[in-house]
Amino acid sequence: MTTKTTSAHTKFLAPRYWHIWLGTGLLWLLNRLPLSAQILLGRILGRFLHRFNRQRRHVTEVNVRLCFPELNREEQARLVRRIFENNGIGMFETAMAWWSPKRLFDDRIHFKGREHLDAALEQGKGVLLLGAHFSTLDLGGLLFSRFYPVDAMYRRHNNDLMEEIITRGRRRYFGQPIERSDIRSVIKALRKNHIIWYAPDQDFGRKQSVFARFFNVPAATITATSRLAKLNGSPILMLAQHRLPDGSYELELFPVVDGFPSGDDEADAQRINDELERAIRKDPSQYMWVHRRFKTQPDGKGRLYK
């Protein structure tokens, strides 16, 4: 067993992984700086990426144009810049979640709506905690874990070294990592009345998805949320997480989604998207609009990002 583990780690010394070691090592070193300095560097990094990462900037511009038509062009451009700044900060916040002393954040957390989760846990059926890909994703996990133990469903990274780094970092705050396809582990965790963090806000294609409006735009939305809730009759509720202007962080739990699942996949998908949108609208600039959320379209063309 030790030999196999050593062999697996030895392969990460290959040249194709060097850029990952360099980037991760640099981030680890910068994590030694004061939190305020890291936030500043993250903002600078975001501005750099906004200027030079044309592909991600284009995706973000399309998403903002689709989802915020009420903004004029100047306001949309300003929002895109803020999104990149917050994503840059988010990279440093991920490093904080992985390596910074947990106690640094204990007086920086504002937690609202805990009564909703406490009532859900009293049912003894486990809880599906809906999350979203906020720029504060990992740091939010660390902050939440200061109050409740939480497992997390995830999609394996396609780079083995990144998978190893991410998994090691998240062990600090997530209990059991559960791959999306591992339904047996989901059932076991829910029967033990565990909280499982789960983010259904990405486009996984037409398979096992229906179309529901997300910011009034048709979006391929997975139906797995309904099936997971049905496994153990578990309540679901939304967690919103945001960085506040004073450098503290807000976690907010929304009320349980009543009558879910309803048996109507499209209606259920719409309710989930409504919860996600409500959380994101608290500060749209802190959501990862750099992803192609609308790459799958009802007409099959999927050319929004061309």
pLDDT in tens, 271-284: 999 999 999 999 99
Q: Does any domain span residue 38?
A: no
Classify residue 141: in a domain, yes or no: yes
Residue 86 lies in a domain: no
- Out of 35-44, 124-133, 154-163, 229-238, least confident range: 154-163
The CA distance from 238 to 185, in Å, is: 21
> Is 78 domain-assigned?
no
DSSP the chain: -HHHHHHHHHGGGSGGGHHHHHHHHHHHHHTTS-HHHHHHHHHHHHHHHHHH-HHHHHHHHHHHHHH-TTS-HHHHHHHHHHHHHHHHHHHHHHHHHHHS-GGGGTTSEEEE-HHHHHHHHTTSS-EEEE---BTTHHHHHHHHHTTS--EEEE---SSHHHHHHHHHHHTTT-S-EEETT-HHHHHHHHHTT-EEEE---S---STTEEEEEETTEEEEEESHHHHHHHHHT--EEEEEEEE-TTS-EEEEEPPP-TT---S-HHHHHHHHHHHHHHHHTT-GGGB-TTS-TT-S-TTS---TT-
Instruction: For residue 144, tell me if it sits in a domain.
Output: yes
Proportion of the chain above pLDDT 70, given as a percent:
97
Within-domain flag for 305: no
Task: Look up residue 298 and give its two tokens.
Answer: 């009802």
Please report which confidence band the pLDDT of residue 10 belongs to, taking 50, 70 and 90 as the band edges: confident
302 contacts: CB under 8 Å, gap ≥ 6 = 295, 296
Supply the range of the domain harboring residue 209: 106-286
pLDDT digits (tens, 9 = 90+) for 47-86: 999 999 999 999 999 999 999 999 999 999 999 999 999 9
Judged against a pLDDT cut of 80, whether residue 301 lies above it is answered with no
Side-chain half-sphere CA neighbours of 245 within 13 A? 2
pLDDT at 160 over 50: yes
Confidence check: pLDDT of 5 > 60: no
User: How many structural domains compose the chain?
Assistant: 1
Could you tell me the two tokens for 303? Answer: 């050319």
Query: Where do we find the tokens 């989604």?
Result: 257
Q: Is the pLDDT of residue 300 over 80?
A: no
Look at residue 77 and tell me if it is in a domain.
Answer: no
- Residue 299 binned pLDDT confidence (cut-offs 50, 70, 90): confident
Report the mean per-residue pLDDT for the chain: 95
The pLDDT of residue 1 is 43
- In this predicted structure, the answer to whether residue 46 has a pLDDT above a threshold of 90 is yes
Return the half-sphere exposure (C-beta side, CA atoms, 13 A cut-off) of residue 122: 7
Whole-model pTM? Answer: 0.94
Query: pLDDT for 171-193, tens place per residue?
Result: 999 998 999 889 999 999 999 99
Q: Is the pLDDT of residue 237 over 80?
A: yes
Q: What is the pLDDT of residues 186-220, one digit of tens each?
A: 999 999 999 999 999 999 999 889 999 999 999 99
Residue 302: pLDDT above 80? no
Say whether pLDDT at 3 is over 80.
no
75 occurs within a structural domain: no
